[in-house]
Amino acid sequence: APDSQGGSRWFHEVARVGMALTVHGPDNRFELEENAAFTVLLAGGIGITPLFSMAARLNELGRPWVLHYTARRRQELAFENELRALAAEGRSGST
């Protein structure tokens, strides 16, 4: 991307087939507090991606949660059906 902050531009301009790359595991700076008495998840647009797995994990743990999720148009809601299913099977509030 021409307006990239480095990652994709570097791959297109510098990286070459056969080049050795040093990689590191993910760096979680947005950790779920699994022991919270109640979790409020807030998301907009594609920002739902990490919260989807958090809601699923909270269901696994039997922890209560609520999700507030918005997009410009209803058609732009990612994972809408899957999130409704998670809410129905867990201890959640409305989505």
Helix (H, G, I), strand (E, B) or coil at 13: helix
Asked if residues 78 and 43 have their Cβ atoms less than 8 Å apart, the reply is no
Per-residue confidence band for 93, with pLDDT thresholds at 50, 70 and 90: low
Return the ∠ at Cα 59 (arms to 58 and 61), rounded to 5°.
65
Residue 1: pLDDT band by 50, 70, 90 thresholds? low
Say what the pTM is. 0.70
**What mean pLDDT is reported for the chain?**
88
> What's the length of the chain?
95
Residue 2 pLDDT > 70: no
Tell me how far apart the alpha carbons of residues 79 and 34 are, in angstroms, rounded to a whole number. Answer: 22
**Tens digits of residue pLDDT in 4-20:** 666 777 888 889 999 99
pLDDT for the residue 24: 86
